[in-house]
Structure 1
Amino acid sequence: MSGEATTASGPSVDLRRRSLRWPALDLAGRFSGRWPGLLALYLVSRVFSTTILFVVYEVATLTGAAFVTPGSERSFLDFTVSWDSDRYRTIALHGYPGTLPTDAAGEVLPNEWAFLPVFPTLCHLLMVATGMSFAVASVLIATAAGAGAVIVLHRLLEPRVGHRSAFWAVLLFCFGPLSYVLSVGYAESLSLFLLFSGVLALQRRQYQLVLLCGVVAAFTRPGALALALALAIHLVVRWRTERASLDRRELTRIVVAGLVVAAAGLAWPVVAHLATGEPDAYLQTEMAWWVDYVGRPDFVPLTPWFLLAGRWLGVAGIALVLLIIALAAWWLSRRSTAQLGHEVHGFVVSFGLYLLAVFLPQQSLFRLLMPLTPLLGSRAIGERPWLRRSLLGTSLVLQPVAAVLLWLYVAP
């Protein structure tokens, strides 16, 4: 009797334990890595994000809140193409200014030269082909590119860390605090699709495709130089580990791809110079956004983070930046991070260095960190249920908070 009771109780206890689990947490087991399942997950996340933005818009409208971007109060669709998207609209409809706008003191004001041309050009072409408005065209292109980024992200991570860790990286990407920018009139989703595709091509040693993705990415959003540095890291790794099998033709492809992507990443300032006649038109334009934070200092690479932190927090700010760098170096040096493969590892290190070298931290920092998403595929996250659940829960809570703070008060 006792043996039978023990045997019978085992499955019942197991069933009770399973019933206590949050069903959504077993999504990795329910979804395969095939694109239909990933697209279904992405669609659910877009409904969630869009609903949040719609609620924010409706509440702001009912309470008489002031919309900062002119015209964004007309409709919800106009609301989704405010802030940076308003700049892309101007480019799509009118192109770039021939002269830099300045204030009464002759200082350059924020203008469209800070925004790269691929996204607004695609919007313009779709508008001409279909007759649709910029608002509709930009949202469609951004949302479609986001879907592509989701699929490529999973393809990039699964061979290294397995389906579960790759799936959780995708899940956190889709529902992250700033993930609503994947389906509004921003270029982020297109840039992420191109960068992730470039790293995937690098992983598969398709260097011509790396070159193509890198060049297009260079004219979509700043940051493609990180892909060029990742190519250099890839070359060093292959030279050290596969020198005997690395023939001259393949070596040439890697070097050419790296040089062309690097040249493309540095080309936009030259274009701005030629179009406006101002040698530093692009740099002046970018630094016009710095004025409210640090004034108009001379630009020195690798100093912006320290400049801002020292300006507002003094010595404590400098110490904080050093602590952030140390924590980032620690995380990147972990074995679980290295397991992502040197291609992914090299890219995220390169992109982190790029942000440290040229970007002044402000509210847009959070969406600019999105290219580092492959780090979420680390087994240190994927194999720790409490950590991945905590990250997902925190993301779901922070997304509406971010939508209110960044969409109504400061540019996201």
Structure 2
Amino acid sequence: MLQTVATRVRSAPPVVVVLVLYALSRVVSSAWLAGLFTLATSQGWEFASRRSDPSFASFSGSWDASFYRTIAQQGYPTELPLDEQGEVAVNPWAFLPVFPAVVRFVATVLGVDLAGNAFFAIGLVVATIAGGGAAVLLHRIVTETVGAPNAMWAVALFCFGPTAFVLQVAYAESLMLMLVFAALLMMIRRRYLLMLPFAVVAAFTRPGVLALALGLAVTGIVRLVREREGFRRRERVALVVTGLVVAAAGLAWPVIADAVTGRPGAYVDTELSWWVGFVGRQHFVPLTPWFVMATTFLGVAGAVLVLAVLALAVRFFAKRSTRALGVEVWSYSAAYVLYLVAVFLPQQSLPRLLMPVAPLLGHPAIAASPRLRRSLLAAGVTLQPVAVVLLWFVGYP
């Protein structure tokens, strides 16, 4: 019987197979989350994120989701909260408005009050649906760049990855992934203006959309060099216009935060408030956060370690096999990694913030090695409970 089911699934349209795979992965992630929640509750474990109502719904939407709920219920503060030293404290301005707006819209349609755990429950459903959309789009991206066999394995590794449970919690990740993958797919198809609705909305869902703008710039330069006359004027104009609009959208939120609060640097100061627990109060300088974090804990050895990691990243993106993914995937992924190095303080959130480069899972080296594919899949499934413990009971997601 199982063989018959497997045969039918394999013969089904790819989108059906992807959704079945995604549904199975949600069963696995739900089992890990529910099992660890039940164990922690019965054993009296201390949760890293304080919650007034210790239910599974609030467990699935802890920490960041509480800020999204505040935004959905109250909007953004016009005056930033300050700590005892008079510095900006953590507040909702670090989180962008699209995800809470979608949850609020769904709640309004359903006639549901967002008080209590309703936000977490609706957010979970919205995130899970968006995660399915992201999986389908990831399959299309890899199929159109390196082929269908690579694509299905890329989807499997994405859906069963170590932090794949994020696709079903009340965070903005899965919605951001769906929007960015849709924009990237339009970029691959050279439908540049069609990127705009996805990329602009993504810019107000989670930070990171500037990588699309930089990827477009690199793609345009490569096409000019390789194609010349084949790169038509109309396409050039569309690419430039799209890149400029996406870049403007990606830079808009700090401007909005400054205008609403009347405080210059409101968004940057808010983001820096999350750094205090790791490296103390800092001034932001692009391209230094990784070095700040590493040297704080490891001294000079930390700086050497960061340089080594960056050298490995450069080597990876310089490989012909990586470039075989296509200029669009290659340039976007490299730009996104550069974005993380430029602005992000590396800590426990780094693995989930790397999920936007999931198209790299279609890498020819992965497709060429069945052992590597199986090992990565097994590692993803078995590391999920480790990640849940670390993020829900030691740190925060």
TM range (shorter): over 0.9
Tell me if the contact between 1:173 and 1:179 (Cα under 8 Å) persists in the aligned partners.
yes
1:173 paired with 2:163, answer: no
CA distance in structure 2 between the partners assigned to 1:410 and 1:61 by the alignment:
17
Q: Provide the rounded CA distance (Å) in 2 between the counterparts of 1:32 and 1:73.
A: 43
Structure 2 Cα separation of the partners of residues 88 and 100 of structure 1: 16
Q: CA deviation at 1:315?
A: 1.2
Tell which deviates more after alignment, 285-294 or 157-166.
157-166
Residue of structure 2 equivalent to 1:11? none
Structure 2 SS opposite 1:266: helix
> Which one of 71, 87, 100 corresponds to residue 67 of structure 2?
87
Moved over 4 A (4+): none
SS in structure 2 of the partner of residue 374 of structure 1: helix
Look up the equivalent residue of 1:47 and give its one-letter code.
V
1:59 equivalent to 2:39? Answer yes
Where do 1:277-296 residues align within 5 Å? 277-296=262-281
Structure 2 counterpart of 1:397, from 353, 378, 382: 382
Which has the greater radius of gyration?
Answer: 1
Identity of aligned residues (%): 52
**Deviation at residue 159 of structure 1 after TM alignment:** 2.3
List runs of 5+ in structure 2 lacking aligned partners: 113-117
Structure 1 contact 306–318 (Cα < 8 Å) conserved: yes
**Aligned AA (1:229):** L
CA separation of 1:357/1:253 partners in 2, compared to 1, >3 Å: closer, same or farther?
A: same
Paired letter, 1:107? E
> Any gaps of 5 or more consecutive residues in structure 1?
1-22
Question: Does the aligned pair in 1 maintain the 2:128–2:174 contact within 8 Å?
Answer: yes
Q: CA separation in 2, counterparts of 1:31 and 1:143? A: 25
The 2-side partners of 1:323 and 1:32 are apart by 45
Work out which of the residue numbers 321, 324, 339 in structure 2 matches 1:339. 324
Pairing partner for 2:233 from 213, 226, 248: 248
Q: Deviations over 1:110-155 (max 9, x none)?
A: 1100000000000111111103421222111101110000000010
1:322 counterpart letter in structure 2: L
Q: For residue 360 of structure 1, what is the aligned residue in structure 2?
A: 345
Instruction: Work out which of the residue numbers 143, 156, 163 in structure 2 matches 1:158.
Output: 143
Provide the aligned C-alpha RMSD in A.
1.7
Residue 24 of structure 2, aligned match among 44, 50, 54: 44
State yes or no: 1:410 paired with 2:372.
Answer: no
Instruction: Measure the CA separation in 2 of the matches of 1:406 and 1:394.
Output: 17
Residue equivalent to 2:217: 232
1:329-358 Cα distance to aligned partner (Å, 9 max, x none) = 111122221111000001000001100101
Deviations 1:9-37 (A, max 9, x none): xxxxxxxxxxxxxx9xx99x936662111
**Deviation of the 1:67 alpha carbon:** 2.7
C-alpha contact 2:158 2:164 (8 A) present in aligned 1:
yes
Change (3 A) 1:162 1:314: same
**Quick one: distance in 1 between partners of 2:374 and 2:136?**
22
Work out whether 1:106 is the aligned partner of 2:91.
Answer: no
Give the match's secondary structure for 2:147.
helix
Deviates more, 1:130-139 or 1:356-365: 130-139
Q: Aligned partners of 2:48, 2:82: CA distance in 1, in Å?
A: 21
1:173–1:373 contact (8 Å) kept in structure 2: yes
Matched to 2:250, the amino acid is: G
Cα pair 1:232 1:258 within 8 Å, conserved: yes
Equivalent residue for 1:125? 105
> Given the superposition, is the C-alpha separation of residues 46 and 31 from structure 1 closer, same or farther in structure 2, using an over 3 Å criterion?
farther
Q: TM-score, normalised by structure 2?
A: 0.95
Partner of 2:302: 317
1:251 Cα deviation after fit: 1.3
Matched residues, number: 388
Q: Deviations over 1:280-327 (max 9, x none)?
A: 000000000011111112211001101111111011111111111111
SS at match of 2:274: helix
